[in-house]
Structure 1
Amino acid sequence: MKRALPLLIFMAISGAVFSQENPIGIFEDNKDIGNPKLAGSASYDETSQTYTIKGAGYNIWGQRDEHRYLYSKVKGDFVATANFEFEGNKEIHRKIGWMARASENDNSVMVGGFLHGDGLMAGQWRERKGADMQNPEDDVWAQKRYQQIIQLERRGNTFIVRAAHPGEPLQEISSKQLEFMPEAVLLGVVIGSHDENVIETARVWNARIDQPVAEDYNPGKDGWIGCRMETMNVFDGKRRVIHEKDGRFEAPNWMPDGKELLFNEDGSLYTIPINGGKTEKLNTGSADDLNNDHCISFDGKMLGISHNDGEGSNVFYLPLDGGEPKSVTQQAPSYLHGWAPNNKEVVYVAQRGENKVYDIYRKPIKGGKEVKLTDNKKWDHADGCEYSPDGKYIYYNGSKNGGTMQIWRMKPDGTEKEQITFDQYNNWFPHISPDGKWIAFISFSPDIELNSHPSYKKVMLRLMPTSGGAPKVIAHLYGGQGTINVNSWSPDSKHIAFVSNSKKSVKVD
């Protein structure tokens, strides 16, 4: 719906203090730490955006470490997340995971979240340079085993390790204050074999390094910070970054031919090939102040938009290949969210009269009276309305009496309202797959402001069957407003597109 706040930084890359010998993927360097007996190596597959990392080393423990390291220098707070998996089945004490080090010295201050060969997941650290790591003083073990997703976050001098199995929310493993960790650290992925005569191998994918904004950050005042355009297979969770920019872009639609994405940037719409490449501006005529609410008709012929026409946001439509828009609503604010399967009506949220709450409305695109489908009171909110492909339901997110935002559905005439999700998260923007079988939506933490969907938050994308069942997590990311405001399913119902907040590589002195 409305434009909102954002910010974040994808990578902070250095060159002044530490050498840049072997950049790989998003990491500026790739080397052995501690001079292991056997040299490690790493490779990066551009197509799958997957790292294969090989390394030896006696251990990551005691007074010094030996391991292979893919890293960049990052200054300040960060959130680093990735999927990890060993190849083969050798030493049970081998380790893979995220690490932050004070330096390349083998005895430096360090902290990390490590998956071991026997499935043990632990947060471990060395508080001082040359200190002897001890058990249990310098580690915390998770109750679960074999978590594939590992996250390391820094907040000031506090380092937090989280982990999850695919489909699950992240759970905190450890939180440790490290007084002697410098502001700029070497942050990256690591493998150690725990046997100096053996080289172990692991794969790492969905690797993201984000730097969160301050709590008082104001994008309207301080400016927008960049984004990544990503696509993801919803069934195996594998993601690909296809486009990055220091500026702001939002809300991708998958085009009907399956070959391009459509997205909003600076009040205009652009297309980009699904594997990345040159962006092209779509002709929207006199509509030059578009919101991030745009959607494609079920027959693939028309495009609906929300445009600020001087009176506020109103709903318009035009041919999908471009042209002069035609007006649907004449009263602002009105924010488009979906087409009816008959391609003759749209659904949108709007404020009407003195009751300054958002309700859902339906209206024919070629004239006719708008029909109010919800009747919200103070503290209530409705948003993200979208038809199922069979036309039987309108799905939406809603809150009641100032409560948690949840996913709902109703009949197209506004009757038989039914709550779909029941959990502690604030769930927004339900999007139904073209085959009608799946709902993808974004989940914010329980502590966000009432009825808000802000930018630059740790969020989850989740998936559930339209037939019912528990949602599962399909992505952990730093995003929010603009991530998935519009339906972004691929025509084959296997992939979605979304925006995560980031900034392209910025060197740190």
Structure 2
Amino acid sequence: MAGNTIAPRQLQPGQRCEVWIASAATGARDLVYATDQVLLEAPNWTPDNAGLVLNGAGVLWRLDLGTGSLGEVPVSDIPDLNNDHVLGPGGLIYLSANDGHIYRADLAGGPATRITAEDGFFHFLHGVSPDGERLAYVGIEAGDFTTPGRLLTLPAGGGPSATIDVGQGHCDGPEYSPDGEWIYLNTESFSSRPGHAQIARVRVDGSGIERLVASETVDWFPHISADGALATYLRFPPGTVGHPADLAVEIVAVTVQDWTAPLHTWPLYGGQGTLNVNSWSPDSARFAYVAYPMEKPQ
């Protein structure tokens, strides 16, 4: 698998990367960092409420929200990173790399440890259970991206994976609820239309799959706030296949009690990299995302 890697994404000519923070209560948003030098993706909010962790150029970065400074997190012994990384208890971060494997490292830096086995799959991490015991990921067989992704979990320390059946359509973005009872995800299993992802959840034992949004848009990456009350997801235009970059998209905020009534929506130019992982602040008041505006959008 190591020979079949994916190159880190780069900004296009005339494009820049903007890191934003938005209020779920008011809809107000603030630009906290911008660059035309590196394509940053997928912010995680640090538990101390002081910074964001992002990937870019194959490595991990920390953006200090107090000073606005960006510095590399010195994680070693790992291939180039992609935008699937999540924080776990005890100062750990779990990382998907472009060799198709999942790794564990200290958020402060240091050597990474590979968790996944050579099982013929690419492994795309999205969730850590609240107790830190299990990881939820999407498996793509043999790195063949024409085949649907499958929902799997495995012990956080490594070991055999377990498959959770959510239908034959492609699924992505599996993330545990704060109470550890549900896995939220997007899935194409509710429609015969190519790429028509919708938001759903399934119990961790694989029972009770439930569609949460029925829409004409293509909906990806549900993220639940730490208090379990709110959620965000990314809305792609109708007919979108996959979760490509460089489109006019929207971030939607809802209460978990009513996914049909958005609290706020935020239009932006982006998609891939904007909201791939949970980016809620520890107090559940704000979330972070990334936009990629062009001088002349394509």
- TM-score of the superposed pair, with normalisation by structure 1: 0.52
Amino acid at match of 2:101: N
Q: Structure 1 residues 229 and 469 mapped into 2: Cα distance closer, same or farther (>3 Å)?
A: closer
Of 153, 173, 184, the match for 1:362? 153
Amino acid at match of 1:412: V
**Counterpart in 1 of 2:237?**
445
Query: Post-superposition shift, 1:375?
Result: 5.5
Tell me how far apart the structure 1 counterparts of residues 215 and 24 of structure 2 sit (CA, whole Å): 21
Give the secondary structure class of the aligned counterpart of 1:453.
coil
Amino acid at match of 2:214: F
> Does the aligned pair in 1 maintain the 2:8–2:81 contact within 8 Å?
no
**Counterpart in 1 of 2:132?**
343
Of 18, 23, 31, the match for 1:233? 23
Is 1:395–2:184 an aligned residue pair? yes
Give the secondary structure class of the aligned counterpart of 2:135.
strand
Matches within 5 A, 1:2-41: none
Query: Post-superposition shift, 1:224?
Result: 8.5
Q: Which segments of 5 or more consecutive residues in structure 1 lack a partner in the other structure?
A: 8-218, 505-509
Matches within 5 A, 1:85-100: none
Tell me how far apart the structure 1 counterparts of residues 14 and 271 of structure 2 sit (CA, whole Å): 14
Query: Post-superposition shift, 1:287?
Result: 1.4
> Does the aligned pair in 2 maintain the 1:300–1:320 contact within 8 Å?
no
Q: Structure 1 residues 224 and 373 mapped into 2: Cα distance closer, same or farther (>3 Å)?
A: farther
Q: Structure 1 residues 238 and 333 mapped into 2: Cα distance closer, same or farther (>3 Å)?
A: same
> Does the aligned pair in 2 maintain the 1:228–1:501 contact within 8 Å?
yes
**Counterpart in 1 of 2:114?**
327
Structure number, greater radius of gyration: 1
Q: What does the per-residue CA deviation read over 1:190-213, in whole Å, with 9 as the maximum and x for residues that have no partner? A: xxxxxxxxxxxxxxxxxxxxxxxx
Q: What does the per-residue CA deviation read over 1:20-58, in whole Å, with 9 as the maximum and x for residues that have no partner? A: xxxxxxxxxxxxxxxxxxxxxxxxxxxxxxxxxxxxxxx
**Counterpart in 1 of 2:3?**
none
Give the secondary structure class of the aligned counterpart of 2:25.
coil
Give the secondary structure class of the aligned counterpart of 2:111.
coil
Tell me how far apart the structure 2 counterparts of residues 491 and 4 of structure 1 sit (CA, whole Å): 29
Matches within 5 A, 1:215-294: 225-246=15-36, 247-275=38-66, 277-294=68-85
Q: Which segments of 5 or more consecutive residues in structure 2 lack a partner in the other structure?
A: 1-5
Query: Post-superposition shift, 1:243?
Result: 1.0
Is 1:468–2:255 an aligned residue pair? no
Is 1:372–2:163 an aligned residue pair? yes
**Counterpart in 1 of 2:213?**
421
Query: Post-superposition shift, 1:503?
Result: 5.6
Q: Structure 1 residues 231 and 412 mapped into 2: Cα distance closer, same or farther (>3 Å)?
A: same
Tell me how far apart the structure 1 counterparts of residues 53 and 45 of structure 2 sit (CA, whole Å): 6
Tell me how far apart the structure 1 counterparts of residues 45 and 75 of structure 2 sit (CA, whole Å): 18
Matches within 5 A, 1:289-304: 289-297=80-88, 299-304=89-94
**Backbone CA RMSD of aligned residues:** 2.3
Amino acid at match of 1:467: Q
Give the secondary structure class of the aligned counterpart of 1:384.
strand
Tell me how far apart the structure 1 counterparts of residues 50 and 27 of structure 2 sit (CA, whole Å): 20
- TM-score of the superposed pair, with normalisation by structure 2: 0.88
Q: Structure 1 residues 390 and 224 mapped into 2: Cα distance closer, same or farther (>3 Å)?
A: farther
Counting aligned pairs with the same residue, the percent is 31
Tell me how far apart the structure 2 counterparts of residues 425 and 263 of structure 1 sit (CA, whole Å): 27
Amino acid at match of 1:255: T
Tell me how far apart the structure 2 counterparts of residues 387 and 224 of structure 1 sit (CA, whole Å): 37
Give the secondary structure class of the aligned counterpart of 2:160.
coil
Amino acid at match of 2:97: H
Runs of 4+ in 1 over 6 A off after TM superposition: 2-7
Query: Post-superposition shift, 1:225?
Result: 3.0
